[in-house]
């Protein structure tokens, strides 16, 4: 039986290494035959869904890299609606990001190992 992972990101994509580490982990897991069931953005990680972020030219867009990986591999990329609303981001179409609740994330965890970034 293949090991299945769910990723939980909590840190802003603009501060720290969490998004870069999550991308590295996801690529390595997939390359080694593991399954990624979902990626869930919680707390400040929901800032990744905000459209129109203008990053400096020398700074990588880690949120876009994660979104592209999830799209290519057909991995659900969920964000917490409540956490987003607390940060002024309201439920709407946000490209590859899907609005969800913490309860939905928890229900999807059956049989998966959670890796938190």
Give the pLDDT confidence score for residue 93 in this predicted structure: 65
Higher pLDDT, 94 or 34: 34
Query: What domains does the chain contain, in order, with CATH numbers?
Result: 4-51+58-116 (3.40.1260.10)
The rounded mean pLDDT for the chain is 92
Contacts of 22 (CB under 8 A, 6+ apart): 7, 9, 39, 66, 115, 117
Catalytic annotation present for 80 = yes
pTM of the model: 0.93
User: Which of these is catalytic: 62, 67, 80, 83?
Assistant: 80
pLDDT digits (tens, 9 = 90+) for 69-82: 999 999 999 999 99
Paired with 38 in beta bridges are 6
Confidence of residue 92 (pLDDT cuts 50, 70, 90): low
């Amino acid at each position: 039986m293949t090991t299945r992972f769910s990723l939980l990101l909590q840190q802003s994509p603009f501060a720290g290494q969490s998004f870069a580490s999550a991308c590295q982990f996801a690529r390595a897991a997939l390359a080694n035959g593991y399954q990624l069931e979902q990626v869930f953005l919680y707390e400040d990680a929901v800032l990744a869904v905000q459209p129109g972020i203008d990053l400096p030219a020398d700074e990588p867009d880690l949120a876009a890299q994660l979104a592209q990986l999830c799209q290519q591999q057909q991995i659900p990329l969920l964000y917490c609606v409540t956490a987003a609303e607390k940060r002024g981001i309201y439920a709407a179409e946000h490209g590859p990001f899907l609005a969800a609740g913490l309860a939905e994330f928890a229900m999807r965890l059956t049989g998966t190992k959670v890796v938190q970034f």
